[in-house]
Amino acid sequence: ISDSRVADTWTKTTCGYCSVGCGMLVGTRNGKPVAARGNPDHPVNRGKLCPKGLSEHHILNAPGRATTPMLRRGGRGTPLVPVSWDEALDVMLSRIGALQRENGNETLGVIGTGQLLTEEFYTLGKLVQLGFRTRNYDGNTTLCMASAVSGYKLSFGSDGPPGAYADMETADVVLLVGSNIADNHPILCNRLRKKPGQVLIVADPRVTKTAMMADIHLPLKPRSDIALLNGIAHILLRDGMVDRDYIATHTEAFDTFASFVQDFTPEHVSAVTGLPAETIERVAHLYGTAKAAFIGWTMGVNHSTQGAVTVAAINNLALITGNIGRSGASPFSITGQCNAMGTRESGFTSALPGYRKFDSVSDRDELAAIWGISADRLPTARGLAYPDIIEAAVAKRVKALWFIATNPVVSFPNYKLLEQALTTAEFVVVQDGFFLTPTSEFADLVLPAAIWGEKEGTYTNSERRISKVNAFSKPPGEARPDFDIFLALADRLGLREELYPGWHTTHDAWLEWQRVSAGRLCDYSPFTWQQIEDLGGMQWGGDRLYGDGSFPREGGRALLHCVPCLPFTEQPDAEYGFILNTGRTVEHWHTRTKTGAIPMLNGMVPNAWLEMNPLDASRLDLRQHDRVDIISRRSTVANVELRITGIIAPGQVFMPFHFAEQNSNLVTLGAFDPISREPNFKQCAVRVEHHRNR
Ligand code: SF4
């Protein structure tokens, strides 16, 4: 190793990619990041990192960082030109202010992100709600975790994953539904198979890397997971493998539920899922006889028009067997982004800060009292969710859009509608650490933001563990931390002292957030930043929630739900014969604004591909590595490499979504879960043809 790569200082921090929340040590030499390694003392990853974490420090000096505010001074169709921060913030406030005076405050839609620190998201929520006075505010977490949030609320009365990663080690049975952790949460794979005799079952239509690790892979038909879950419940009840005491003491609506699942016989479920009835019986018996059983899920469940109720169907199994609140026993959503959890607890999106309910007078009064404001300044209902903000922009009900550290041009479904929203809106602000994102091409104003490694605060991971994030590098050029940008805007609105009294740093936001969360389910008040850093993170709520069987619903009982299986929105037909499934690969993160700029990651996977079963390829006379077009009713993704492989079933195709140049969201469907508003990214109907120059 050359001297130039030998660190003179090591800084503890937390990985800024996925929600596993690995602890890292980043080495700097003369103030420049030169190395990263896993923190051996961190309880999450115990010294290990995946390829993204190991190379994350390279992003800080990568080309393409936003270094100065940029304004399309001559209007749309003219280039973005560098301007001062003063001019940028003045223009932003005057354009938004003019649109709000003309059209009402809610003409502003704001999309935040699970990439922000909890302290920043908390600060932003106050600014949007009390400063800009719009409820049309959501996070990009609605594209990944909203169904888990809604499903937990349906069953337990509140969001909050009940378990911990340690449960994956102590469970007798681990059932993963629609969850490819080997690609998406790789460090969690180290938790599996620690216990002798543990059985790993993976339900996934595709033979993912995680499915390859399983003792039993259930290659069920797309979106038949509800039938499988109801079918397992049917067998558990039929064969007496339920916890009658737990059901009687801690649940509601059992009789209705028991009657509902009677129709889900193994034969019926076999017909719906395509799985052999005896396999369904075996899986139910393994789950039902386990002393401790764990069900984990991610996007295969959440990315569905039935995502929230599928989560409720998972929770049903845990509740009727008493597999909750004990070591190894949990229904557990594995979140997406590094701070998806922190943002859903501290913001104004699906709940008021501290999981307070919009429609609760006492919750609003309590929050208003802490802030020293009148409760009538707090909304009594949430505003528009992310997809509804986009639709409102198309309909000209939302005329100003502010995107913070998110890149919807690549990540939002049904690109054409999104494009229409971005071009119809009269003023679009993109605040990001990278200048050349596909979304900034639509921006009237770009605000350059600091990124991971350049700011200090906390993230909260999938197991509710709050971890410290530290700065070890300076933002490039004039880029500023998002926190500073929010305070500067409040300053210009004349509201800084009212919203952020005496605040200068994110630690000031942390101290207020502790007071706001104190006594709530997500209580951050017992911990100091120093303790969090020294101990490698602290879990709010302790190891597990609901250990006493008491749930935050009126009456304290969890609710069992009857969840029907509905057909998905767009069935394949003669013209569009394949079901397209979209997902991720281990080398890349979301829309590649970061990983695309890291040569060692991008070099491994520089382009998208389409997976197709050999039977289908033969029928269509396609050969390995042919270039193909993927065509839906909405648009075409052109010139994609074909990979012919048995890991995808006949009639289905798979494509990663990370790539702007071959954007899978050109063809995906604008269909959303009616409860969570999460998009149905996992199924749309397409046809595949030899690539033609269109
Ligand atoms: Fe980072 Fe997730 Fe990889 Fe851990 S598993 S190093 S948190 S990307």
CATH, residue 288? 3.40.228.10
- State whether 512 and 412 are in the same domain: yes
Q: Examine residue 611 and state whether it is found in any structural domain, yes or no.
A: yes
- State whether 40 and 103 are in the same domain: no
CATH number, position 422:
3.40.50.740
- State whether 328 and 367 are in the same domain: no
- Express each pLDDT in 561-600 by its tens digit: 999 999 888 999 999 999 999 999 999 989 888 898 899 9
Atom of ligand 1 nearest to the CA of 48: 6
- State whether 346 and 477 are in the same domain: yes
| Predicted local confidence at residue 1, as pLDDT | 46
Q: Examine residue 150 and state whether it is found in any structural domain, yes or no.
A: yes
Domain count, the chain: 4
Q: Examine residue 287 and state whether it is found in any structural domain, yes or no.
A: yes
Listed residues 61, 80, 97: the one ending a domain: 61
- Express each pLDDT in 634-652 by its tens digit: 999 999 999 999 999 999 9
pTM reported for the whole predicted model? 0.96
44 lines ligand 1 (CB under 6 A): no
Atom of ligand 1 nearest to the CA of 16: 1
Token pair listed for 641: 């490499």
- State whether 263 and 278 are in the same domain: yes
- State whether 603 and 505 are in the same domain: no
pLDDT tops 60 at residue 694: no
- Ligand 1 pocket check: which of 13, 22, 144 to mutate, most ligand atoms within 8 Å of Cβ? 22
231 lines ligand 1 (CB under 6 A): no
The ipTM (two decimal places) reads 1.00
617 lines ligand 1 (CB under 6 A): no
Listed residues 291, 314, 334: the one ending a domain: 334
Burial 124-139 (b: 16+ CB within 10 A, else e): bbbbbbbbbebbbbbb
| Predicted local confidence at residue 683, as pLDDT | 93
- State whether 370 and 241 are in the same domain: no
Integer Rg of the chain from CA:
24
Stretch 392-412: mean pLDDT, rounded?
97
- Which position has the token pair 């500023």? 480
**CA 19, CA 463: separation in Å to the nearest integer?**
9
- Ligand 1 pocket check: which of 49, 190, 341 to mutate, most ligand atoms within 8 Å of Cβ? 49
Output the CA 273–ligand 1 centroid distance in Å.
33
* The amino acid at 161: P
SS3 493: coil
**CA 608, CA 656: separation in Å to the nearest integer?**
6
pLDDT tops 80 at residue 470: yes
**H/E stretch holding 429:** strand 427-432
Terminal Cα-to-Cα distance of the chain (whole angstroms) = 49
479 lines ligand 1 (CB under 6 A): no
15 lines ligand 1 (CB under 6 A): yes
Listed residues 334, 357, 379: the one ending a domain: 334
**CA 191, CA 178: separation in Å to the nearest integer?**
18
Helix, strand and coil content of the chain, in percent to the nearest 5, comes to: 35, 20, 45
Query: Among the residues of 327-414, which ranges form H helices?
Result: 340-346, 361-371, 386-394, 408-411
Q: Examine residue 546 and state whether it is found in any structural domain, yes or no.
A: no
- State whether 167 and 294 are in the same domain: yes
Token pair listed for 613: 């079963």
Q: Examine residue 233 and state whether it is found in any structural domain, yes or no.
A: yes
- State whether 349 and 418 are in the same domain: yes
pLDDT tops 60 at residue 3: no
24 lines ligand 1 (CB under 6 A): no
- Express each pLDDT in 535-569 by its tens digit: 889 999 999 999 999 999 999 999 999 999 998 88
Dihedral angle at the C-alpha atoms of 674, 679, 681, 683, nearest 10 degrees? 20
Q: Examine residue 548 and state whether it is found in any structural domain, yes or no.
A: no
Q: Examine residue 231 and state whether it is found in any structural domain, yes or no.
A: yes
| Predicted local confidence at residue 536, as pLDDT | 87
- State whether 125 and 189 are in the same domain: no
* Mean of pLDDT over the chain: 95
80 lines ligand 1 (CB under 6 A): no
- State whether 385 and 502 are in the same domain: yes
- State whether 75 and 53 are in the same domain: no
CATH number, position 27:
2.20.25.90
- Ligand 1 pocket check: which of 26, 42, 45 to mutate, most ligand atoms within 8 Å of Cβ? 45
Q: Examine residue 543 and state whether it is found in any structural domain, yes or no.
A: no
pLDDT tops 80 at residue 441: yes
Domain of residue 608, residue span: 578-690
Output the CA 593–ligand 1 centroid distance in Å.
16
- Count of residues in the chain: 694
